[in-house]
């Protein structure tokens, strides 16, 4: 429920209704009644109001699943995911975020590979929804593949912590690693999987993710993206400050070229008018220029490596 701070309850309700529909579909094929764990950053006493609100938005959910509420006061994104793991009881644990909406057959597609006892992790396909210039631009430059026509990127996608399933015994012993970064832990977990020789099964289990909102989020998220890129380089490659600084420049060039290529090649499928394409490219290049500034400043020691927390001015933008 971490992302619920920045979206509306009617949007959360859409995701919960879709989740209930998917659970009903797989239950009809013989799956046991599941447990849905709502992991939130509030107090234990907030469970009453959360249950009431979820019941009002998606009454179907309590009809098809047992609901549990796991409080983690002040918990960050991955804290909340780890917080929910001990509450689970089944053999497979599925992670879904409050700002994602599953498409039809999402859950059955995500669960099918677990018929193979060797399967440890199944990764779904998350994409950004879009309905205006800003959201279309984000869909083009973001870290998720496009909904359609992006098979090459989709085939190489990293794990999506907002749309993924694990064997419960494995994820219980390998929780998302603690880290100062905003979205670094899923990358570290992915490398743990690879390091143990496990194959990540990518399937077309689709959810759409609400588009980021507001210019304040845009600039903050760009800077954090850069700082996280440096953190990943330190963890996976080298702590050398000189190499980190060089990496900040090479990544700036790589991401700028990637942005131009994706905007030009994929803008038509988003419905973006031709005249808006140059402006989308400018927005994308601006995003990754700010990402470079965040990357370089941390790599060069100009800023301290502090725990990343979403500022209030971003949440309420």
Same domain for 80 and 53:
yes
Question: What is the residue range of 264's domain?
Answer: 215-315
Last residue of a domain, one of 209, 239, 267: 209
- 35 by Cβ neighbours in 10 Å (0-12 / 13-18 / 19+) ranks as middle
Residues 191 and 284 occupy one common structural domain: no
Res. 248: pLDDT tops 90: yes
40 and 175 both lie in a single domain: yes
Is 200 found in the same domain as 149? yes
CB 12 within 8 A of CB 57: yes
**In a shared domain, residues 97 and 223:** no
Among 209, 228, 255, residue at a domain's last position: 209
- The Cα 288–Cα 294 span in angstroms is 10
Residue 47 confidence (pLDDT) above 80: yes
Give the DSSP letter string of 156-196. Answer: TPPP-TTEEEEEHHHHHHSPPPP-SSSS-HHHHHHHHHHHT
Residue 73 has pLDDT above 60, yes or no: yes
Q: Which CATH number fits the domain that encloses residue 112?
A: 3.90.550.10
89 and 157 fall within a common domain: yes
pLDDT of residue 264 exceeding 60: yes
The answer on 311 and 283 residing in a single domain is yes
182 and 258: one domain? no
- Residue 3: per-residue pLDDT: 64
Is 225 found in the same domain as 189? no
Whether residues 102 and 226 share a domain: the answer is: no
Q: At which of 159, 183, 209 does a domain end?
A: 209
pTM of the model: 0.93
Q: How far apart are CA 238 and CA 241, in angstroms?
A: 8
pLDDT of residue 5: 65
Co-location of 204 and 220 in the same domain: no
Instruction: Please compute the mean of the pLDDT values over residues 280-301 and round it to a whole number.
Output: 98
Q: What is the pLDDT of residues 102-141, one digit of tens each?
A: 999 999 999 999 999 999 999 999 999 998 999 999 999 9
Do 12 and 100 belong together in one domain? Answer: yes
In this predicted structure, what is the pLDDT of residue 10? 83
Q: How many domains does the chain have?
A: 2
Give the total residue count for the chain.
Answer: 317
Q: Which pLDDT does position 53 carry in this prediction?
A: 92
Q: What is the pLDDT of residue 315?
A: 64
- What confidence category does residue 71 fall into, taking pLDDT thresholds of 50, 70 and 90? very high
Q: What is the pLDDT of residue 4?
A: 63
- DSSP-derived letter for residue 96 is E
Alpha carbon separation from 280 to 132, 177, 268, 294 (Å, rounded): 11, 35, 12, 21
Among 31-40, 154-163, 198-207, 270-279, where is mean pLDDT lowest?
154-163
């Amino acid at each position: 429920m971490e992302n619920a701070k920045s979206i509306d309850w009617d949007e959360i309700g859409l995701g919960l209704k879709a989740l209930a529909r998917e659970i009903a579909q797989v239950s009809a094929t013989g799956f046991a009644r599941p447990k849905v764990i709502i992991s939130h950053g509030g107090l234990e006493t907030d469970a009453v109001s959360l249950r009431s609100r979820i019941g009002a938005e998606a009454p179907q959910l309590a009809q098809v699943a047992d609901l549990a509420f796991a409080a983690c006061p002040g918990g960050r994104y991955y804290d909340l995911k780890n917080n929910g793991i001990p509450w689970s009881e089944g053999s497979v644990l599925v992670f879904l975020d409050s700002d994602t909406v599953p498409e039809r057959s999402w859950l059955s597609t995500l669960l099918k590979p677990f018929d193979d006892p060797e399967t440890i992790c199944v990764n779904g396909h998350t994409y950004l929804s879009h309905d205006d210039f800003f959201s279309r631009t984000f869909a083009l430059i973001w870290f998720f593949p496009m909904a359609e026509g992006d098979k090459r990127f989709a085939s190489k996608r990293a794990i999506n912590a907002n749309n993924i399933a694990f064997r419960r015994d494995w994820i219980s012993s390998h929780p998302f690693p603690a880290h100062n970064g905003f979205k670094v832990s899923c990358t570290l977990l992915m490398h743990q999987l690879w390091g143990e020789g496990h194959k990540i099964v990518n399937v077309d289990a689709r959810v759409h993710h609400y588009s980021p909102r507001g210019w304040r989020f845009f600039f903050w998220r760009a800077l954090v993206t850069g700082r996280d890129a440096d953190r990943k380089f330190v963890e996976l490659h080298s702590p050398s400050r000189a190499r980190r600084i060089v990496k900040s420049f090479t990544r700036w060039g790589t991401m700028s070229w990637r942005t131009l290529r994706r905007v030009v090649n994929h803008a038509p499928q988003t419905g973006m008018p031709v005249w808006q394409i140059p402006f989308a490219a400018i927005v994308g290049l601006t995003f990754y220029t700010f990402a470079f500034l965040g990357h370089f400043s941390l790599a060069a020691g100009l800023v301290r490596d502090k725990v990343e927390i979403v500022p209030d001015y971003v949440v309420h933008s």
